[in-house]
Amino acid sequence: MQDPVLSIKNLDIAYGAVTVVHDFSLDVAAGEFVSLLGPSGCGKTTILRTIAGFIGAASGSITLEGQDITRKPAEQRDVGIVFQNYALFPTMSAFENIAFGLRVAKRPMAEITQRVTDIARASGIEEQLHKRPSDMSGGQQQRVAIARALITGAKVLLFDEPLSNLDSKVRVAMRREIKRLQAEFGFTAFFVTHDQDEALSMSDRVIVLKDGHTQQIGTGRVLYEQPQNAFVCKFIGDANALTAGLAKALTGQVRDGTVFVRPENTLMNAGHAGVPACVTHIEYLGAQVRVECQVGAETVLATMYGFECPPDLSVGQDVSLSVRPGAWHIFPDTPS
Amino acid sequence: MRGTFRLEQMAFLTALGLLAWFLVTFLIMPLITTFYTAFFDSGSLRIGEITEDLSRSRRVKQALLNTAWMTIATTFTVGLVGIFQVAALEYFHVRGRSFLKVAFAVPLVFGSVVAATGYKFTYGPSGIVTQILQGIVPDLPSDWFIGGHGVLYSQTFLLTSFYYLFLRAAMRRVDYSTVEAARSMGASEIHILRRVVLPVIMPTLFAVMLLTIYTSTVSFAVPEIIGGRDFTMISQIILVLNALNRPDMAAFLALFLGFFILSIIVLMQWIEARGSYIGGAKTPVPIELKRIKNPAANVAFHGVTYLLAFIYVLPVALVVAFSFAPAASIGTEVFPSSFTLSNYIRVLSGGAAFEPFFNSMRMGLLAVLLGLSATLFAVPIMVKHKNWMTRALDIGFFLPWVVPSVLLAIGLILTFDTPNLMVGRAVLLGSFIILPIGYAINALPLMVRFLRAAFMGIDPSYDEAARSMGAGGLYRFRRVTMPLVAPTALLAGGYTFNEMLTEYPLSAFLYNVNNRPLSIAILDSDKSTDPEQAAITLVYAVLVMAFSLVVVLSAERLSLGKGPKTNNV
């Protein structure tokens, strides 16, 4: 990796006596898009707020463009933030919101007008500049928030679950828009989310976090196809966790630990000998069909393309299950 | 950047010091002085002596008795009228609801000295109602209205504003789907009202009743104007004792009143802490007005509602009408036969008639500026930090709420009637500034309550967003926080200014030749037999009401929003 623009080393973050983030380290290259992904309460927003300077680090260091910013107040860090609710100042127009950072820096009015107009044009919100946040759509507010964070020349933009307030269609559109803006302005993005689709679709790398501990860092494909532990395997996508007996019957594996099989690798009536099962639930999702089957006391999920699913498949029907050869992961049992 | 930060820190510490000085000097010290005066003489405890003196006084005993029965009776009558009003506005469909809303809102703009004068103008010895009644019953004494019963009547219609404001809001929180559910199970209207609606509004109802007890106990202007010579209440007797140079007895009685008020407030907070019944519905359905199906009951209900509305509107209508009438028509005509602007010209063109109005405006404005400076500085700190200092500030700011105005007034008199080190050895009693300071102290709890809600409602990410863009503390406060709380600050300021325009208890104790306020001028004119003076009083009343109306309408728009629609089933 070239010299990282943002470097976090051995970061511990504590609320009082309770440490909530443990030994977090990460190097982010210039122009890279990294996402911090994890369930609620895992510490991802806490890390973002520590980088921003709103929470103090208990130990460790944060370096931005080679400069140690660990103890700097938030107002001197030069990182941009896009908040979950955008935090656009409701009393100001879009223009005033975007110009805020330049006014703080006491830039001349002519320069402010020029730069705000330029960034608004590039962000596709030139027509909205006179409007108050309450008069704009979620997508437009999002663009204003990004423009506001970028205008002072911040090299790193922190995104705190910025798409969670949007409806699903706009959310997909905004993912692309954020990527387009990143390509346009070349900023480095640090994106916090609990939505794996968001993280996988936008990021160069994803950091999976659980209880303040890093679980795995890698591209979306690596995380999905080569998970390093049971948590990542279950958290990224779906996975059937098979008990020893069923695992032996389906995969032939007799090993300590739990065998995980992705639903798309669970085959139904594949034409060769399988494990007898009974269909208990069918979810038709258009392109995909999810079928839940009962094998003894266990439930196994299989997914397939709609055209692969027999049209007469029904609940209560007996089927046989098998697993695509070699398509499983085995991880040692860990206390839950 | 570092220099700016240091400057900000210095400014912050200076402001904190000033705030502490202000609260200690003008609130804590007066209370301690009052406590000392009431219980000690030259360092020795003398509680027995004072209680003996007080129990020997027939007037003190009578005032205590009057206050007790007046408070009980007022709580009952106000409750009756208040609940009826809320039912008429928020539960049953009554024709002309918009007019009724305005009529029942009259006490919001027609209170204190102005209202007492208005009631006396309507029902008093030269009042229109008295003239009409004497036409029917010639033997009716002209002062038939003056006395305890007149005070009770006036307070019954003047103290319903709590019901109008809070009980109505509580009624709007009733989830209408629960009413419909009860109806679908065959419950009668009375049963629904008693078992479904009432339990939801019960905590508010209790709180409102306690507010009525509070207000009635410290009632001052109404008994002063309508009570006559034979009916006095506790606040009046404290003023008399102070004038008779018995500050110890006045202080003792004021403290007694303070402890009673404190117990009421503790009770109110206990009720508040018990919370209200909040339904589990994520989308509660707003209440819909119910039509009374029985025609006779419907007519009777409309009749009582409009009679009440008439009682509310009559004094205001007469005050407004006669403020535009030639002075000679006051007390001689039932309704003015001609109209003129001369009364307004006399008041507004400066001179002696304008002076009390000008004084009150100046002092009100000063109190608002002082109060807002203190609270706009302190409240964000109190909201953001929880430590011993902010807790102390919190208690300090709320003390004036539990301290009756008369107790504060006595404290300020006892503390500043001699040179005081805390104010550079100045004697503030008799100065212009003592009254606006008292007003400001009095207004602090209301301002803190308003502003706390406003500051707590601000999304912290606004401040964080501004910080991330490099904005310093003062800049963030000025450009981000202030515009967000400005409407609330303006409203709190407006309310305070409105209250202080006709504030009576503090004014009665602390006014002097340098700052004779409007409330005292109104009271003096009321005692005068000169019709010109009466005309000026009416103009004062109308101007105060006009200002109050602007404040109340702004508040209504901010808090309640649109009203419920009618269910036609």
Considering only the C-alpha atoms of chain A, give the largest distance between any 2 of them, rounded to a whole number of Å: 77
Neighbouring CB atoms inside 10 A of B141's CB total: 11
C-alpha B371/C-alpha B362 separation (Å) is 14
C-alpha B440/C-alpha B22 separation (Å) is 10
Count residue pairs from A and B with Cβ separation < 8 A: 66
CA distance B466 to chain A (A): 8
- Chain B residues contacting A via beta carbons under 8 Å: 1, 459, 461-462, 464-472, 475, 479-480, 483-484
DSSP string, A74-118: GGGS--EEE-TTTT--TTS-HHHHHHHHHHHTT--HHHHHHHHHH
3-class DSSP state of B398: helix
H or E segment and range at residue A11: strand A6-15
Three-state SS for B282-330 is CCCCCCCEECCCCHHHHHHHHHHHHHHHHHHHHHHHHHHHHHCCCHHHC
Is the pTM for the entire model greater than 0.90? Answer: no
Contact B467 A100 (CB under 8 A): no
C-alpha A300/C-alpha A304 separation (Å) is 13
CA B361 to chain centre: 17
C-alpha B537/C-alpha B524 separation (Å) is 9
CA distance B474 to chain A (A): 11
CA distance A29 to chain B (A): 21
Which residues are B124's β-sheet partners?
A: none
Chain A residues within an 8 Å CB radius of B386? none
A224 touches B: beta carbon within 8 Å: no
CA distance A218 to chain B (A): 29
Q: How confident is the model at residue A283 (pLDDT cuts 50, 70, 90)?
A: very high
C-alpha B251/C-alpha B239 separation (Å) is 10
**What is the pLDDT, as a whole number, of residue A250?**
83
Chain A residues within an 8 Å CB radius of B485? none
Residues 6+ apart with CB under 8 A from B81: B156, B157, B160, B163, B308
Domains of chain B, each with CATH number or no CATH:
49-320 (1.10.3720.10)
C-alpha A325/C-alpha A268 separation (Å) is 14
Output the CA torsion sign for A212, A213, A219, A222. negative
List chain B pLDDT tens, one digit each, 569 residues: 556 667 878 888 999 999 999 999 999 999 999 888 888 877 777 777 888 888 889 999 999 999 999 999 999 999 999 999 999 999 899 999 999 999 998 998 888 899 999 999 999 988 889 999 999 999 999 999 999 999 999 999 999 988 998 898 888 888 888 888 888 888 887 888 888 888 888 888 888 898 899 899 999 999 999 999 889 999 999 999 988 888 888 888 988 888 888 888 788 777 766 655 555 455 567 778 888 888 999 999 999 999 999 999 999 999 999 999 998 888 788 888 889 999 999 888 877 888 998 999 999 999 999 999 999 999 999 988 888 888 888 888 888 887 888 889 999 999 999 999 999 999 999 999 999 999 999 999 989 988 988 899 899 999 999 999 999 888 999 999 999 998 889 888 988 898 898 899 999 999 998 899 999 998 888 877 788 888 888 999 999 999 888 877 777 666 545 555 555 54
Nearest to B471 by CA among A93, A71, A49, A53: A53
Among A100, A152, A158, A159, pick the best mutation site for testing chain B contact (most B Cβ within 10 A): A100
The partner residue sitting opposite A74, judged by closest CB among B1, B461, B467, is B467
**What is the pLDDT, as a whole number, of residue B3?**
63
Contact A101 B470 (CB under 8 A): yes
Residues in chain B: 569
Chain B residues within an 8 Å CB radius of A104? 466, 469-471, 475
Contact A152 B470 (CB under 8 A): yes
Q: For the segment A80-120, what is each residue's pLDDT rounded down to a tens digit?
A: 999 988 899 998 999 999 999 999 889 999 999 999 999 99
CA distance B463 to chain A (A): 9
CA distance A49 to chain B (A): 10
Q: Which two tokens stand for residue A290?
A: 């999810």
A100 touches B: beta carbon within 8 Å: yes
A73 touches B: beta carbon within 8 Å: yes
C-alpha B145/C-alpha B131 separation (Å) is 12
CA distance B387 to chain A (A): 15
**What is the pLDDT, as a whole number, of residue B468?**
92
Beta carbons of A40 and A16 less than 8 angstroms apart: no
CA distance B15 to chain A (A): 23
Angle of CA points B258, B410, B508, to nearest 5°: 105
CA distance A61 to chain B (A): 19
Nearest to A112 by CA among A128, A97, A122: A97
Give the mean pLDDT of chain A: 90
Exposure of B32 by Cβ count < 10 A (0-12 exposed, 13-18 middle, 19+ buried)?
A: middle
Among B386, B462, B469, B476, pick the best mutation site for testing chain A contact (most A Cβ within 10 A): B469
Chain A residues within an 8 Å CB radius of B6? none
The partner residue sitting opposite B470, judged by closest CB among A75, A85, A87, is A75
Beta carbons of A236 and A313 less than 8 angstroms apart: no
Chain A residues within an 8 Å CB radius of B483? 89, 91-92
Query: Distances in Å between the alpha carbon of B524 and those of B242, B394, B439, B534?
Result: 19, 38, 21, 10
**What is the pLDDT, as a whole number, of residue B569?**
47
Helices (H), B25-139: 29-39, 47-56, 58-90, 97-104, 106-109, 112-123, 128-136
Among A91, A107, A152, A165, pick the best mutation site for testing chain B contact (most B Cβ within 10 A): A91
Q: Which residue has the tokens 């009582």?
A: B304
C-alpha A88/C-alpha A142 separation (Å) is 9
CA distance A201 to chain B (A): 27
C-alpha B170/C-alpha B155 separation (Å) is 23
* φ and ψ of B566, to 5 deg: -90, 140
* φ and ψ of A241, to 5 deg: -95, 115
* φ and ψ of B245, to 5 deg: 60, 35
ipTM higher than 0.85?
no
**What is the pLDDT, as a whole number, of residue B189?**
79
Q: For the segment A121-139, what is each residue's pLDDT rounded down to a tens digit?
A: 988 899 999 999 989 998 8
CA distance A72 to chain B (A): 12
A16 touches B: beta carbon within 8 Å: no
Chain B residues within an 8 Å CB radius of A74? 464, 467-468
Nearest to B292 by CA among B193, B411, B398, B436: B193
A53 touches B: beta carbon within 8 Å: yes
A115 touches B: beta carbon within 8 Å: no
Indicate whether A180 pLDDT > 80: yes
The partner residue sitting opposite B469, judged by closest CB among A54, A92, A100, is A100
The partner residue sitting opposite A101, judged by closest CB among B1, B469, B472, is B469
The partner residue sitting opposite A76, judged by closest CB among B1, B466, B475, is B1
> Mean of the pLDDT values across residues A8-20?
94
Nearest to A5 by CA among A187, A148, A259, A132: A187
C-alpha A73/C-alpha A88 separation (Å) is 21
3-class DSSP state of B262: helix
Query: Distances in Å between the alpha carbon of B519 and those of A102, A112, B114, B118, B523?
Result: 52, 54, 8, 13, 6
- Chain A residue with Cα closest to B469: A101
Among A48, A75, A116, A164, pick the best mutation site for testing chain B contact (most B Cβ within 10 A): A75
Residues 6+ apart with CB under 8 A from B453: B488
**What is the pLDDT, as a whole number, of residue B37?**
86
**What is the pLDDT, as a whole number, of residue B254?**
87
Contact A91 B484 (CB under 8 A): yes
Indicate whether A270 pLDDT > 80: no
Q: If you compute the radius of gyration of chain B from its CA atoms, what whole number of angstroms results?
A: 25
Contact B468 A91 (CB under 8 A): no
Which residues are A321's β-sheet partners?
A: A268, A275
**What is the pLDDT, as a whole number, of residue B359?**
93
Contact A75 B468 (CB under 8 A): yes
Query: Distances in Å between the alpha carbon of B408 and those of A152, A332, B437?
Result: 53, 74, 11
Q: If you compute the radius of gyration of chain A from its CA atoms, what whole number of angstroms results?
A: 24
Contact A85 B461 (CB under 8 A): yes
